[in-house]
A = this chain, B = another copy of it.
Amino acid sequence: MSKPKLPVPLCPAILDGELSRAQAEKLAALFRALADPARVQLLSLIAAQPGAKACACHFTERMALSQPTVSHHLKVLREAGLLERERRGNWLYYHVVPERLAIVSATIWPPTARRARHG
């Protein structure tokens, strides 16, 4: 009951009509999670690990950021549904949630968007 990670779109695609204020806020919140270079780099770093998982200790040294700062960014990404973590002993392993990224991608440029071109 605590894992609402269904791949259900949060709102219509941007180009598929006028978005309500609430829909725009949901979308913007997701974009805001991606609006920091450190977080984008973290995502790519995690995705590049074998098995697409990585323990948090690995990031601090690679990113030239303090441990609290990395922890903060991981939390933001996790709260946006882009990241999940699991405990393995003392370490926490993070992995990307591809369904979530796919949703964001489709909201920006869905397959149905091509028919909406107006030249």
Contact = CB atoms under 8 A, between A and B. Distances in A.
Interface string A1-39: 000000000000011111101001101100110111111
A64 to B, nearest CB: 9
A76 interface: no
Interface in A95-115: 96, 98, 101-102, 104-106, 108-109, 113
Contact of A24 (B15, B27, B37): B37
A104 to B, nearest CB: 6
26 contacts: A14-B43, A15-B43, A15-B44, A15-B98, A17-B47, A17-B48, A18-B41, A18-B44, A18-B45, A19-B41, A24-B38, A24-B40, A24-B41, A24-B44, A27-B40, A28-B34, A28-B36, A28-B37, A31-B35, A32-B35, A34-B108, A51-B118, A102-B109, A104-B108, A105-B105, A105-B109
